[in-house]
Amino acid sequence: MSNAKYEKPFKFDDMTMDEVIKQVAVVKKEEVDQIHTTASDDVPYEGECQMTLFNRKEIRKVFHDNEWFLSIVDVIEAITETDRPSKYWTDLKRQLAEKEGFNQLSENIGKLKMPAADGRMYPTEAVNVETLFRIIQSIPSPKAEPFKRWLARVGYERIEEFQNPEISVKRAILSWQIQGRTDDWIEARLRSIVVRHELTSEWAKRGISEGYEYGLLTNIISKEGLGLDTKAHKKLKGLTSQNLRDHMSDFELVFTMLGEKSTAAIAQTSDARGLEQNKTAARSGGRVAGNARRELETTLGRSVVTKDNFLPKKPDTKTLSKK
């Protein structure tokens, strides 16, 4: 897998948050149509998992090193409709091993954590769009060509967003507007994205590895700030593979931002280096948010951490109220 230095998917480093909001918050459907894009679920961040569909088949993907990595066995199942995709992939690897160049190809195959049927995260063999193109060349299936066209579109959308970062932000805003989110919630969500990327950029400078270590520090901030880690928070809200932050309330987003912003500032001030020192910064930053949250909860007489979510409404299921 690539060890390239982490770079933010969009670059607003020299802009204030108010300038960011002013520049991208006014979105019209016509604008998005003109740049030949469609609404997506979110602006992805490192390690985020999503589900995508090809001919009604779910394909897991995770955002890693600024691009999407797709589950190989999911792709094989979608293209071949085999009921044993793992065995098919094992046999295909054996065949590819006999061909010149597979060793180079295998270097681009890595294991990234993705949700399984039981809701748990397991290391899953995944590749980026370019490598996946090379693999499916060896799959004899009439669905291979339509899949290549679909895959090209997935890859092109990311290239498009790198060339014009506003596209990804506008796409996200349009999606939230369609879902009926309030302007206040959308602004909080946008701010949370920027704050998160500021934090992960700071971690990258301080020797923190993407993936496990990012997740570990994030859990520390969440535990100190909201009183529960991300896994427990998703369970409380009844989420599985969904993006937790897309289902946070305004207050949950605010206190998450406060914890992450404080952590970044404390890491800078203390010049935290390595995992252990950044754990200390994460605890301190999380406690800043935790203290503010508890003070507000005392005043309100209720918890601001809620089980409510934005999942499609079902009988006897509450959703976050709209303003």
Domain of 152, CATH number, reads 3.10.260
Q: Are residues 142 and 201 in the same domain?
A: no
Q: Are residues 153 and 226 in the same domain?
A: no
Residue 117 lies in a domain: yes
Residue 19 lies in a domain: no
Residue with tokens 């349009």: 174
Range of the domain at 88: 40-163
In the numeric block, which tokens belong to residue 16?
């204030």
Instruction: Select, from the ranges 5-19, 27-41, 185-199, the one with the highest average predicted confidence (pLDDT).
Output: 185-199
Residue 312 lies in a domain: no
Q: Which residue has the higher pLDDT, 25 or 184?
A: 184
pTM: 0.54
Q: Count how many domains the chain has.
A: 2
Q: Are residues 196 and 286 in the same domain?
A: yes
Q: Are residues 128 and 213 in the same domain?
A: no
Q: Are residues 222 and 157 in the same domain?
A: no
Q: What is the pLDDT of residue 323?
A: 42
| Whether the predicted pLDDT of 6 surpasses 70 | no
Residue 10 lies in a domain: no
Q: Are residues 192 and 142 in the same domain?
A: no
How many contiguous H segments (helices) and E segments (strands) does the chain have?
Answer: 13, 5
Residue 274 lies in a domain: yes
Residue 239 lies in a domain: yes
105 vs 200: CA distance, rounded Å: 29
Name, in order, each residue with C-beta under 8 angstroms of 134's C-beta and a sequence gap of 6 or more: 105
Q: Are residues 124 and 202 in the same domain?
A: no
Q: Are residues 54 and 125 in the same domain?
A: yes
Q: Are residues 158 and 185 in the same domain?
A: no
Residue 24 lies in a domain: no
Tell me whether residue 143 is exposed, middle or buried, using C-beta atoms within 10 angstroms of its C-beta: 0 to 12, 13 to 18, 19 or more: middle
Contact assessment for residue 128 and residue 174, using Cβ atoms and an 8 Å cutoff: no
Q: Are residues 53 and 143 in the same domain?
A: yes
Q: What is the pLDDT of residue 20?
A: 45
Residue 171 lies in a domain: no
Of 115, 135, 163, at which residue does a domain stop?
A: 163
310 vs 39: CA distance, rounded Å: 17
Q: Which residue has the higher pLDDT, 162 or 189?
A: 189
